[in-house]
Amino acid sequence: MRKRPALAVVLSGTFLANLDVFIVVVAVPAIERGLHANEGQQQLVLAGYQLVYGLGLVAGGRLGDHVGAFRIFGIGTALFTAASLGCGLAPTAGALVAARLVQGLGTALVVPQAYRTAQTLFAGDARRQAFALTGAVMGSGAVCGQLLGGWLLAADVLGLGWRAVFLVNVPVGVAALAALPWVTGTPRRPRQPGHGPLPEPGPKTERAGGRGPEAEPERGPGRRSAGPRVRLDLPGTALAALALGLVTAPLVTAGESGPPWWTVPCAVVSLPAAVLFLRHERAVQRRGGDPLLPPHLLRLPGFRPGLALVALVNSGLGAFILILGLLLQRGLRQGPWETGLGMLPTAGAFVVTSLLGPRLPVAPFRLLCGAALLSTAGYLGCVVSAVRGDLPWLLVGLGVSGAGLGLFVTPSLAVTLRTVPARMSGAASGVLSTVQQLAAALGVCVFGTLFFALVHSGTGHPGAFAAVTAAIATTTAAGGVLAAVLRPAAPSPEAAAPAAAGEGAGRPEATH
């Protein structure tokens, strides 16, 4: 197993998954003109992808536990790449919507495997660096979406127009699939019966022929064999999709006029659906089965507070990217390319500080507090510069907020997963990814509705941006307060060791 190249391959798919949430935003007007897409179809191109993506994350993570992270990553990347080609070649708006839904399914399989790979292949300093790289890639994918989309549309590469924002995924996906056998140490010839599944992160390893550790598949609760047989909790998957769908569907389909009228009824119905799901999971565990969401996962020390930290930062980040793009495009009359360039201070600072964070001699919870203070100061700097109409200082504020967010995202991921045993890392990764998506959707819905309400009331785009950014600043401030009052949880003995012998093993982790 080539650990670092393996992580790089997995993160390439994760980057594309997050990029595709935002890159399409700048292409919607061109799609409307090119395919004569009506308003409903335009909304489905954006929201359909996010909906399927969010609903499938928990199941995608659990499949990683059952079958192996790299095998599920390969299946998801193949789906995503094929669907991207379908999007780029779509002859009608309906075909584009269908391909986007398949893209979302592939993404749901890909994203949880990034967290699982970082959690199970590395330990100590190496694990913190892996989480830093994961956070940097995911955040930069989100922030760079409009930058790359604006450039592709402005450059009109090969005369492809809007189709280029989808076709750009294809060579990256093909390259990731081609590199997968090499990074996992798997021969390209078909494996013979009895030789086991692809090498995967797992608690037991052995050296074979000098090619590095090959992991045996993990034996979860109630599993009879170590083979790749999948025993996915299908009723639990359906109940989870129902409960999450009732919450996310109104949020991702909300337009400029705010959430639809059926938002509250859906939220009310989602509560008994969630209760039924949790009862079913407990029943499955009592029978010795493999629940989709192991009930004791939520009782692990530090896991729920970590999810709260992740939710706070993501609820503000997604909304801030949205209203910043609206300010630059509609308020300051910038084109797609100039709007993308306006994202550079946030994106650049985010990536740099995400990678530097693990090297700082600061305990994770103290780093979270400092990062929250820095990002809040950056947000407030954006508020002042927007009110004064000072574009250079706005760019400075964007850089400061991006730096703080980069320092916040990485340790929040590590803190959340530090007590999770390797056998449940896939399920935990799915839950973490789901919380990220739900928080981002809720933030976009709430803060976006407030932004448009202020614009329609005559406040203007700069004033609306300033008011909403001040509200968004409270999310990172609250994250800092939460980090300050939390007590560090000691890592699980199983989670503290890497899945395979090698780099990063045996290095102590800071616990406070």
Digitized pLDDT (tens) for each residue of the chain, 512 residues in all:
788 899 999 999 888 888 887 788 778 778 888 898 876 777 778 778 878 888 888 888 888 888 888 999 999 999 999 999 999 999 999 999 999 999 999 999 999 898 888 888 888 788 888 888 887 887 777 667 777 887 888 788 888 889 999 999 999 999 999 999 998 876 554 444 444 444 444 444 333 333 333 333 333 333 333 444 546 788 888 888 888 888 877 877 666 666 778 888 988 999 999 999 999 989 988 888 778 888 888 888 888 888 999 899 888 887 888 788 788 877 887 776 777 778 788 888 888 888 888 788 888 888 999 999 999 999 999 999 998 888 889 999 999 999 999 899 878 888 888 888 877 888 888 888 888 888 887 888 788 888 888 988 888 889 999 999 999 999 999 999 998 887 666 565 555 445 443 333 333 334 44
CB 244 within 8 A of CB 55: yes
Q: What is the pLDDT of residue 467?
A: 94
What is the model's pTM?
0.74
Q: Report how far Cα 107 is from the mean position of its chain's Cα atoms.
A: 9
What is the crossing angle of helices 39-67 and 425-456, to 10°? 160
Q: What is the pLDDT of residue 217?
A: 39
CB 234 within 8 A of CB 429: no
Q: Give the span between the Cα atoms of 434 and 58, in whole angstroms.
A: 7
CB 212 within 8 A of CB 1: yes
What is the crossing angle of helices 3-22 and 69-89, to 10°? 40
Q: What is the pLDDT of residue 390?
A: 85
- Identify the DSSP state of 215: E
Cα dihedral 334, 340, 346, 349 in deg (nearest 10)? -130
Structure tokens that stand for 313 in this block = 């930062």
Instruction: Count other Cβ atoms within 10 Å, centred on residue 101.
Output: 16
Structure tokens that stand for 6 in this block = 């393996």
Q: What are the E-state strand segments in 336-411?
A: none
Q: What is the pLDDT of residue 231?
A: 66
Q: Give the span between the Cα atoms of 347 and 141, in whole angstroms.
A: 9
3-state DSSP assignment of residue 207: strand
Structure tokens that stand for 458 in this block = 């005559």
Q: What is the pLDDT of residue 495?
A: 52
CB 491 within 8 A of CB 418: yes
Structure tokens that stand for 92 in this block = 């009608």
Structure tokens that stand for 465 in this block = 């941006």
Q: What is the pLDDT of residue 409?
A: 83
Report the number of secondary-structure helices (H) and strands (E) in the chain: 18, 2
Q: Give the span between the Cα atoms of 140 and 145, in whole angstroms.
A: 8
> Which residue carries 């927007």 as its tokens?
386
Q: Give the span between the Cα atoms of 312 and 481, in whole angstroms.
A: 11
CB 327 within 8 A of CB 394: no
First to last CA, the chain: 32
Structure tokens that stand for 203 in this block = 């608690």
Where are the alpha helices (H) located in 418-492, listed in sequence order?
A: 425-456, 461-485
> Which residue carries 């599944």 as its tokens?
197
Where are the alpha helices (H) located in 90-168, listed in sequence order?
A: 93-121, 124-155, 164-167
Structure tokens that stand for 460 in this block = 């203007």
> Which residue carries 């890159």 as its tokens?
23
Q: Give the span between the Cα atoms of 408 and 315, in whole angstroms.
A: 13
Q: Give the span between the Cα atoms of 501 and 40, in whole angstroms.
A: 52
Rg (CA), the chain: 22
Q: Give the span between the Cα atoms of 154 and 105, in whole angstroms.
A: 29
